[in-house]
Amino acid sequence: MRLCAEEKIEGVLAFHSLSIIWYVSRKAPEEERRKWIKKLCTLLTIAGADNQRILEAIDKTDFRDFEDALQDCCAAEAGAEYIVTVNKQDFAGHSMITPVTPEEFLSLIA
């Protein structure tokens, strides 16, 4: 996030991840959650997917998790070079974008 704030790299977040973050942080006060979401939206580019990309995600049966298929389509729509994930194996072999772990990503940009 620091590199995004310093405008050294462009970070992209899939639009549907915002609702996941909202849900996961539900124990925090609503006002704080709204601040976090707003901060993310100022530091990162929010990527969407058009109808065609969503239909592609639906047809990506090689992904076990539909949310991963959506991530892949949003990353492709945004022109991302990498998908940074702790579950690289969920994307390996069928992602349009190269999956890397956070550690691998940090090595790539060093």
Decide if 100 is inside a domain. no
Q: How confident is the model at residue 58 (pLDDT cuts 50, 70, 90)?
A: very high
Q: Which of 76, 8, 86 is nearest to 47 (CA)?
A: 76
Q: How many distinct structural domains can be found in the chain?
A: 1
State yes or no: pLDDT of 38 exceeds 90: yes
Does residue 61 sit within a domain?
yes
pLDDT digits (tens, 9 = 90+) for 59-95: 999 999 999 999 999 999 899 999 999 999 999 889 9
Residue 104 lies in a domain: no
Q: Is residue 27 part of a domain?
A: yes
**What is the distance of C-alpha 110 from the center of its chain?**
21
What's the pLDDT score for residue 27? 96
108: in domain:
no
71: number of CA atoms within 13 Å, CB side? 24
Report d(CA 8, CA 5) in Å as an integer: 8
Rounded Cα gap, residues 31 and 53, in angstroms: 33
Q: What is the pTM of this model?
A: 0.83
C-alpha to C-alpha distance for 12 and 59, rounded to whole angstroms: 23
Give residue 9's domain range.
2-80
Residue 23 located in a structural domain: yes
Residue 45 bridge partners (DSSP): 12
Q: Is residue 17 part of a domain?
A: yes
